[in-house]
Amino acid sequence: MRPPYALVENIGFGELATNTGLSWEWRRNEMQICPKAPEKWPDAVENDQCPDLWRSVYGRSNLEYFYKRIRGMASLRITGLFNGPARLKTGRVNGQADSVGPVKSLIPPALLPLARRVRCQIFKTLKLHSHIEYEYLGSDWDHAETHFAGKGWNVEDIPVAEKSKWTKFQAMLQGTGPLGISHESSLNSQTDIGQHNTIMTFAYVTALASRGLSAMSILDWGGGIGHYYSLAKTVLPEVTIDYHCKELPYLAMCGAELFPEQHFYSDNSCLERAYDLVLASSSLQYAKGWKDVLTDLARVSGGYLFITRTPLVETAKSFVFVQRAYTFGYNTEYLAWCLNRSAFLAETQKLGLTLIREFLVSEQPYIFRAPEQCIYRGFLFRSPINREAASEGGLR
């Protein structure tokens, strides 16, 4: 028996016969009207990847099949001990804490990065997983790109995954509950304290940048389908938000459909005016030419520039890593920079930006083989361009 065409097309295949991760959700879970049963069924068409995928998943002999099953079960068990049992999508919105396995619950938070490192090493040594989620690829982006055929961010799957959670995300923003929400997760919790910190930091930054204004303009570079537009409206209900988002084509298209009254760009025309606040949240690191992007963002920020959720290292040189984003329900892989902190801050100084506040960010993925593990940080800068010029859409 081989996987049906639809399974290959919709889920993708990993060592455990699926790459949807442990939340067991179908990535394309929107339902379509069932077509009428045809009077004569067409001949079955097999995806030409099926035979090979099937052999690679189930092994080429009985012995290999047995070994792979044991490995698959061990992988699930170890992940379960660490992260808790696989969860079914419950549809619950409020107060649903993320599950934590018995091993993780015994580890003090300060030792979690070390524990992740050990777990990653066990998985790698025992070849338990078919993929390492985050992996060091050296210091040369071009080299990493040439030797590594990732699909990148501009894939149809990402807006599909994001859109499927959109209604739930909007529902979580209603009312007076805490905003400990990660739109990148399966939205089972709104009490995640790390996410709460990220969103409250954003709330503080937008409140500061909008001081004295009844309407403010925001450029969100790499803003996805506009989650931060919804968040800005939620935390500042009395301020009119003029939202501009620079994205890659598939996400920009999806954002423009959701918010036709706002502005989504997949080219650089968003850089022809200035904004009260310029935001790059977990996005600058995905630009091969991050210095050029930073220069552009500084040029158009009239007042404040907020670069956040950025992976940094203290002593190692800036390096490139790959993220295989299957557990987010994204069937893709992409490259990112982990920047040397001094190199990043030196660049901001060259641009005349003044650092006002540094922020902690709770994310800390373990990057396999990296010379130094990263920490994530946020930085709020005041830009040299004056606010009046920005409010009028002017540039220096």
Ligand X SMILES: C[S@@+](CC[C@H](N)C(=O)[O-])C[C@H]1O[C@@H](n2cnc3c(N)ncnc32)[C@H](O)[C@@H]1O
Identify residues 152-171 at the interface with ligand X (CB under 6 A): 153
If the CB atoms of residues 293 and 353 are measured against ligand X, the closer one turns out to be 293
- How far apart are CB 151 and ligand X at their closest, in Å? 12
Q: How far is CA 51 from the centre of its chain?
A: 32
Among 130, 283, 318, 391, binds ligand X (CB under 6 A): 283
> Residue 188: which residues within 8 A CB-CB, separation 6 or more?
87, 89, 90, 92, 96, 98
Identify residues 242-281 at the interface with ligand X (CB under 6 A): 246-248, 251, 281
End-to-end alpha-carbon separation of the chain, Å? Answer: 65
Identify residues 104-163 at the interface with ligand X (CB under 6 A): 153
Among 222, 255, 302, 365, binds ligand X (CB under 6 A): 222
Q: Judged by CB under 6 A, does residue 328 bind ligand X?
A: no
Structure tokens at 211: 């001081």
Piece of the chain touching ligand X by CB under 6 A; list 56-64, 65-73, 127-135, 220-228: 220-228
* 3-class secondary-structure state, position 321: strand
Q: How many CB atoms lie within 10 A of CB 263?
A: 18
- How far apart are CB 84 and ligand X at their closest, in Å? 24
Distance (Å, whole) CA 321 – CA 137:
5
Distance (Å, whole) CA 371 – CA 375:
13
DSSP class of 180 = B
Among 180, 223, 255, 311, binds ligand X (CB under 6 A): 223
Q: Judged by CB under 6 A, does residue 311 bind ligand X?
A: no
Distance (Å, whole) CA 274 – CA 219:
9
Backbone φ, ψ for residue 224 (5° rounding) = 60, -135
Structure tokens at 378: 């946020």
Among 134, 141, 286, 359, binds ligand X (CB under 6 A): 286
- How far apart are CB 121 and ligand X at their closest, in Å? 26
Number of residues binding to ligand X, judged by CB under 6 A: 16
Q: Judged by CB under 6 A, does residue 309 bind ligand X?
A: yes
Instruction: Tell me which residues touch ligand X (CB under 6 A).
Output: 153, 221-224, 227, 246-248, 251, 281-283, 286-287, 309
